[in-house]
Every structure is written in structure tokens, then in C-alpha cells.
Structure 1
Amino acid sequence: MYYLTSYFLIAILFYIEYHYEYSRITTTIQISGDDGGSTRFLVLSCLLSLVVSPCWEIFVPIATIGTVAPWIGISCMMVAMILLRWTMLANPFYLRAMATTDDQLICTNGPYRYIRHPGYLSFLLGWIGFGLTVNNWIALLMIFVLFTVVYTIRIQAEEQMMLDRFGAGYQHYMDETLSF
């Protein structure tokens, strides 16, 4: 029932990131060599969530969460969009790819003051919202586990890249903030 809305909102979340990244001008991007396989795992998790999650409600209707869950899910997805936009406004160096730019600095503004990876938190919150709109415990659990694992792997690889680039400055930032 809420599928169209959830697919529309998750598409908007991706569009916000896409539009920001391709509308800004940046200096030379330095791609990191090893993302720990997180890019492939992330793509697979997205596809599984988009294709398999709705099937759980159809084939296992006894696992329904309740009538309020889809509305909570839609709210989570809206909050995710706001957080992602705030993240991008606060950090002029925000990149979807695991990379840095020649002129990049450590961002400590906006949500980065409290959390090192608000972009990943935005997407995790958006995917949890998607799982809630599917209105099935199994789908929600699958989405939560998949994306928590994939973002944890990605964050570990990204933090190593940032430590290699910024050294003690980034270590101090890590000591002062939460991961995601």
C-alpha cells in the first residue's frame, strides 16, 4: 500500500546526493584504493532491499508490524532527507565515492560536530524507513542487518583512508565524535 511512496522517497534520497555531487565543482579527486568490498556489498544490499523486501509482506503476512509502522517509516525517510541535505550543506567536501580532494579539510561543522558520518546515518535511517513502510518484521530486520553491516565496513575503510590522509588531526576528531 505504501510501496509507491517508499520507492519515491528512497529515490529522492539518492537524487539529493546525486544532484549535489554533480552540481558542484571540485578539485582533483584522489580515489582510495581499497573500500573493503563495500561498494559491491552496498549495491547488492540496495537491490535486495528494493526487490526482496516487498515479497516478505506478500508471502509472510503474519509478520506484519502494524498500521502505524508505514507512517513512522515515511517520517524516518523525511528526516533522512533533511539530515542528508544538512550534511551536504555543512561539508563542501562531501563525496559519494570513497575519495578525498586535493584541497580537502576535516569538516567539523553542522552534523559533523557530533557524528563523523552523517551521510551514512542519513541513508541508514532512510533504509530503515523503507523497511518500516514495507510493514514486515522480516524485511525490516533484513534491511537493518544488511545496511548496518555494509556501512560499518565502509566506515572502517573510509576512516583508514582519512587517517592516512590527515593523520593525528583525524584521530583527534575520531576521539571527539561518534561514528554514526
Structure 2
Amino acid sequence: MTFVVLILAYAILASLFYVEYHYKARTTTTLQTAGDDRGTTRLLLLSYLIAITTPLVCLLLLDTTTAMSDYVKWTGLGIMFSAIFFLRWATTVNPFYLPSLSTTDDQFICTDGPYKLIRHPGYCAFIVAWFGFGLTTGSWIAFFIIFLLLSVVYLLRIQAEEQMMLDRFGVDYQQYMNETYRIIPYVY
């Protein structure tokens, strides 16, 4: 059962990346790259590699007597599906959503949909998806490695993006930061 759930989880992850990377900003005329992303792109790629291989290593090397129940694994799949819909919502309401750290010459700060409460619904969706993926692994060790690793790396990415947005929009983005949360409404 673990293997079936894990295969489904990999398929859902692929769908999540498809939604993000095949989305084109609707009003883009000229991209302005951020310059220094503080190494977060490389960190994300390395973290993805670790997160994707961790369940397989755990399946092969660890004792499965402390594994999660099937209910927890299927719940993880449900969480991953909800992350896809949340990401799709974020990409739909924000005409300037881009998977890279860049802005456009005609960009403005989106405050619609999930952006009313949180500044980074895309990253939130990915953190939630990796949380769900960790649950689908069937291993508490894999879950903690995946969730903690990706959460830390996404938080570093968020800091780099916020600096880019402050550089681009200045006081307007600072005001938006004062009125919203980063990724968890009313918490953080």
C-alpha cells in the first residue's frame, strides 16, 4: 500500500510543478531579473532532490514497524491535492505570478484572493504539498526530513523575494508587508 500511495504522491508533485512552471504571467512585457537570489534556486533544486529520494531510501533501509497508518498516508494525498488547487488559485488571481525571482516592468502588487491575507501563497502551497508528501512516505523520519528541509529552504527563498520586492516597490511593498502575513494567516 505504501508503494501505491507513494507513486500517487510523486504524480501529484509533478502536477504541482506543472501548474507552477507552465503558468505564464498574463501581462508581462519585460522581465527584470532579481540578480542575486541568495543561492535559493540551487538550494531548492538540491532540496527537491533530497526530498524525492528520502522516501525511497527510508523504504529500503528502515524498519517499517514504526510506519504511519494508511489513513495518514491517504490524508497526505488529500493535503497535496488541496495544495494544487491553492496554487492554481494564487496563479489565477495574480497576473504577475512568476516561478522565478523576477518582476515585470508593468507589475503591481497583487492584493486579490489569497494575497489579501498572505504575501506568498505559492510558497505556502508548496510547503503544504511537501507536508502532505512527507505524510505519504509512511515514515516519520522521512516526513520530518522532507518537511523541515523544504520549510527552511522556502523561508530563505521568501526572504530573498521580499528583498527583491522591496527593492522594486519600496514603501508600497513595505506597507503591504505591514498589512499581511508571510505564509500563515494571523500567525506568520
Asked if these proteins are the same fold (TM beyond 0.5), I'd say yes
Partner of 1:163: 166
Alignment of 1:118 with 2:118, yes or no, is: no
Q: Residues 138-170 of structure 1, C-alpha deviation per residue, up to 9 Å, x if partnerless?
A: 111011111111111111011011011111110
Amino acid at match of 1:66: S
CA distance in structure 2 between the aligned counterparts of 1:144 and 1:109, rounded to whole angstroms: 28
CA distance in 1, matches of 2:125, 2:166: 23
- State the partner residue of 2:134: 131
Once residues 178 and 78 of structure 1 are traced to their aligned partners in structure 2, the CA distance between those partners, rounded to angstroms, is 23
CA distance in 1, matches of 2:158, 2:15: 23
Alpha-carbon contact 2:93-2:112 (below 8 Å) kept? yes
* Shift >3 Å, 4+ stretches: none
Task: Please report how far the alpha carbon of residue 32 of structure 1 lies from its aligned counterpart in structure 2 after TM superposition.
Answer: 0.5
TM-score between both structures, scaled by the size of structure 2: 0.91
Out of 48-57 and 166-175, give the one that drifted further: 48-57
Give the match's secondary structure for 1:100: strand
Q: 1:24 to 1:105 in 2, by over 3 A?
A: closer
| Paired letter, 2:82 | V
Deviates more, 1:125-134 or 1:95-104: 125-134
Q: Separation in 1 of the partners of 2:113 and 2:14?
A: 24
| CA root-mean-square deviation | 1.3
What is the alpha-carbon distance in structure 2 between the residues aligned to residue 167 and residue 149 of structure 1? 26
Equivalent residue in structure 1 for 2:105, among 89, 102, 107: 102
Task: Please name the residue that 1:7 is paired with.
Answer: 10
2:139 is aligned with 1:143: no
**Cross-structure match for 1:47:** 49
Structure-1-length-normalised TM-score: 0.95
CA distance in 1, matches of 2:68, 2:118: 30
Deviations 1:44-63, CA, capped at 9 Å, x for gaps: 01011111222213322244
Structure 1: which 5+ runs fail to align? none
My pick for the range that moved more, 23-32 or 5-14, is 23-32
**How many Å separate the matches in 2 of 1:69 and 1:25?**
41
Letter in 1 for 2:52: L
**Corresponding residue of 2:186:** none
For structure 2, the 5+ residue unaligned runs are: 184-188
> How does 1:50-89 map onto structure 2 within 5 Å?
50-60=52-62, 61-89=64-92
Compute the displacement of 1:20 (Å). Answer: 1.3
* Whole-angstrom CA distance in 2 between matches of 1:63 and 1:168: 51
